[in-house]
């Protein structure tokens, strides 16, 4: 009784606060009216408008491309960083490396964006690259702020596994690359998947850093949404949010299924 | 060190040096430059004279930063906004974290997922949802008008209230997760023992649960405070024109005034403000890179 009261009283207000705006947003993406108050009947019109909004769709495709590239890059660099932290007991500059790796987790977006833009401007005048800022510069920036998250996940995973597995493989004569491919990589695989997904969502969500390092002609989805929000929210953006929510829920459901199936196989 | 380890370490090290350390050094350098017409819009800090590098550091931007009330007020305001927001997150998040930690074991991961789920709808789209709620013709005003509590729409959007709601909404999970991690490790037998020894439920909370959860409280508050200090999007979209936080000032200096040196000086000031909470977070025991490998 006591426990149930704690559950309801503790959770209900917070969950209402978290979910009420989202529920109303989904509901009103189906409203057949321009104004937000008042229900004017069910309609798909905002989804149709979304479908025909070329600028928004192009921006979404660009964002997906950037996010996939950035997540892959961040996973590769983050794997190396996580591996070094978890498996190399001592190396020169470990404290500095740890601090540098933790910095993107606490630095504000505006600072990361400004500093990277200034870097790109400096390299452009020094070595002529990048001539045009766009996808490449956004991807580099996104890799930089998300590789730390991947490193955290990979390090945590490897710290939970026994280094003796790798030592055994090495003692049995496997060269280092073979140990890595046959033992370390499979051990780290779940962390790599969740790290990749985390980096992907961080990239898709980023407005501020992309606004700094992008050039004319390359607008990501958050940049387009932001500029239309400045003109006021429309039901079309509600429809966009609903689509994103549906994709996200579907991805979670699939991931949950895979997890359940895997646990069953292990039993 | 074994030879094959060199590239594994070199790749992330070089990446961080080129894309993190060097850019921050450039920001510090340009904060000592003067704005100039041209591309890029600042006078070079480093010049070559007869083959010798001449460094000309001009502290004028920092003098403006310290003398002009506008910048100091923005810094102070950001700290206050971030502090009150993390306090609000604590008030809302603590009961949630405690309830999840005390829920039946089978529910816990699902309840946690429920807390994190809104996170994945996209940051901007969550702000969109609040614009729809808070507008003059939005949901809250519509409901209040319909019930008859008010006769004219309340001004909710573009106020400090809207900004606080947005920040709390965006960063609440950052508070709940470390609190939950701490509270779920707390042995319920300790609370039971205190209760058996005659403490009232309030006494149990104040003397046992709260003191033992303090590291989680500190970690959660810093995790909310740190991103909230530099926040740009929420004050811009939900706060009024008066909600000049430091992130917004930096953005304006850069994008609207094209004063890159001033924007850099503001960035350095923001970095300075963040040093204390970052150190607190490091000490709170939720260090994300512990030296387990050592």
**CATH code assigned at B82:** 1.10.3720.10
The predicted pLDDT at position A147 comes to 96
In a domain, B17, yes or no: no
pLDDT tens column, B74-130: 999 999 999 999 999 999 999 999 999 988 888 898 899 888 888 777 888 888 889
B70 belongs to a structural domain: yes
pLDDT of the residue at B286: 47
Structural domain tally of chain B?
1
| pLDDT for B82 | 96
**Highest mean pLDDT: which of A193-202, B76-85, B271-280?**
B76-85
Residue B238 contacts residue B133 (beta carbons within 8 Å): no
By C-alpha distance, the chain B residue nearest A89 is: B294
Cβ-Cβ contacts under 8 Å between A and B: the total is 256
Residue B176 lies in a domain: yes
**Pairing, β B52-55 against β B46-49:** antiparallel
Asked if A90 has any chain B CB less than 8 Å from its own CB, the reply is yes
Beta-bridge mates of residue B47: B54
Closest-CA distance, B109 to chain A, in angstroms, reads: 12
- CB contacts of A163 in chain B (<8 Å) are none
| Alpha-carbon gap: B289 to the closest alpha carbon of chain A (Å) | 7
Which pLDDT tens digit goes with each residue over A86-137? 988 788 888 899 999 999 988 999 999 999 999 999 999 888 888 888 899 9
Does residue B18 sit within a domain?
Answer: no
B44 domain residue, yes or no: no
- Three state DSSP letters for chain B: CCCCHHHHHHHHHHHHHHHHHHHHHHHHHHCCCCECCCCCCECCCEEEECCEEEECCCCHHHHHHHHCHHHHHHHHHHHHHHHHHHHHHHHHHHHHHHHHHHCCHHHHHHHHHHHHHHHHHCHHHHHHHHHHHHCCCCHHHHHHHHHCCCCCCCCCCCCHHHHHHHHHHHHHHHHHHHHHHHHHHCCHHHHHHHHHCCCCHHHHHHHHHHHHHHHHHHHHHHHHHHHHHCCCHHHHHCCCCCCCCHHHHHHHHHHHCCCHHHHHHHHHHHHHHHHHHHHHHHHCCCCCCCCCCC
Average pLDDT, chain A: 88
CA–CA gap between residue B29 and residue B27 (Å, rounded):
5
**For B133-182, what is the HEC assignment?**
HHCCCCHHHHHHHHHCCCCCCCCCCCCHHHHHHHHHHHHHHHHHHHHHHH
What pLDDT, on the 0 to 100 scale, is given for residue A259?
67
ipTM value > 0.85: yes
Which carries the bigger pLDDT value, residue B263 or residue A256?
B263
Looking at the domain assignment, is residue B78 inside a domain?
yes
The domain of B186 spans 60-283
- Please report whether residue B34 resides in a domain: no
Residue B45 lies in a domain: no
Domains and CATH numbers, chain A: 58-221 (1.10.3720.10)
Q: How far is A57 from chain B (nearest CA, A)?
A: 16
What's the pLDDT tens digit per position in B216-273? 999 999 999 999 999 999 999 999 888 899 999 999 999 999 999 999 999 999 999 9
């Amino acid at each position: 009784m006591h426990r149930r009261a704690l559950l309801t009283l503790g959770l209900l207000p917070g969950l209402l606060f978290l979910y009420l705006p989202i529920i109303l947003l989904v509901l009103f993406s189906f409203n057949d009216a321009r104004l937000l108050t008042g229900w004017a009947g069910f309609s798909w019109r905002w989804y149709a408008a979304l479908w025909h909004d070329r600028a928004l769709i192009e921006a979404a495709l660009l964002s997906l491309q950037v996010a996939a590239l950035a997540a892959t890059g961040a996973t590769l660099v983050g794997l190396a960083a996580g591996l070094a932290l978890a498996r190399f007991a001592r190396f020169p500059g470990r404290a500095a490396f740890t601090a540098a790796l933790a910095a993107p987790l606490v630095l504000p977006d505006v600072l990361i964006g400004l500093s990277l833009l200034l870097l790109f401007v400096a390299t452009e005048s020094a070595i002529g690259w990048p001539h045009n800022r766009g996808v490449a510069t956004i991807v580099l920036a996104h890799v930089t702020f998300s590789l730390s998250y991947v490193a955290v996940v990979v390090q945590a995973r490897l710290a939970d596994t026994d280094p003796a597995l790798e030592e055994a493989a090495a003692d049995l004569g496997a060269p280092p690359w073979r140990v890595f491919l046959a033992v370390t990589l499979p051990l780290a695989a779940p962390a790599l998947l969740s790290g990749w997904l985390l980096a992907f969502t961080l990239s898709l969500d980023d407005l501020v850093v992309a606004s700094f390092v992008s050039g004319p002609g390359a607008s990501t989805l958050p940049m387009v949404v932001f500029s239309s929000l400045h003109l006021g929210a429309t039901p079309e953006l509600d429809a966009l949010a609903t689509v994103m929510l549906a994709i996200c829920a579907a991805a979670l459901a699939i991931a949950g299924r895979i997890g359940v199936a895997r646990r069953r196989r292990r039993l | 060190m074994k030879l094959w380890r060199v590239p594994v370490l070199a790749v992330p090290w070089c990446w961080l040096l080129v894309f993190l350390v060097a850019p921050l050094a450039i920001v510090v350098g340009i904060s000592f430059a003067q704005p100039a017409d041209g591309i890029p819009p600042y006078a070079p800090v480093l010049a070559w004279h007869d083959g010798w590098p001449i460094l000309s550091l001009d502290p004028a931007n920092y003098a403006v930063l310290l003398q002009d009330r506008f910048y100091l007020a923005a810094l102070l305001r950001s700290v206050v906004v971030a502090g009150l927001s993390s306090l609000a997150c604590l008030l809302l998040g603590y009961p949630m974290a405690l309830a999840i930690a005390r829920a039946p074991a089978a529910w816990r991961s699902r309840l946690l997922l429920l807390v994190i789920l809104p996170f994945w709808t996209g940051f901007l789209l969550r702000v969109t949802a609040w614009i729809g709620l808070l507008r003059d013709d939005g949901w809250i005003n519509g409901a209040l008008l319909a019930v008859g509590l008010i006769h004219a729409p309340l001004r909710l959007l573009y106020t400090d209230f809207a900004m606080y709601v947005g920040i709390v909404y965006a960063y609440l999970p950052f508070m709940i997760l470390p609190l939950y991690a701490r509270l779920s490790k707390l042995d319920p037998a300790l609370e039971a023992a205190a209760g058996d020894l005659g403490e009232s439920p309030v006494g149990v909370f104040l003397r046992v649960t709260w003191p033992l959860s303090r590291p989680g409280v500190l970690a959660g508050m810093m995790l909310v405070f740190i991103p909230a200090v530099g926040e740009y999007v929420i004050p811009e979209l939900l706060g009024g024109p008066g909600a000049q936080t430091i992130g917004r000032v930096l953005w304006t200096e850069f994008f609207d005034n094209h004063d890159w040196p001033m924007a850099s000086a503001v960035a350095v000031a923001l970095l300075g403000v963040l040093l204390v909470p970052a150190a607190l977070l490091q000490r709170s025991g939720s260090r994300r890179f512990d030296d387990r490998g050592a």
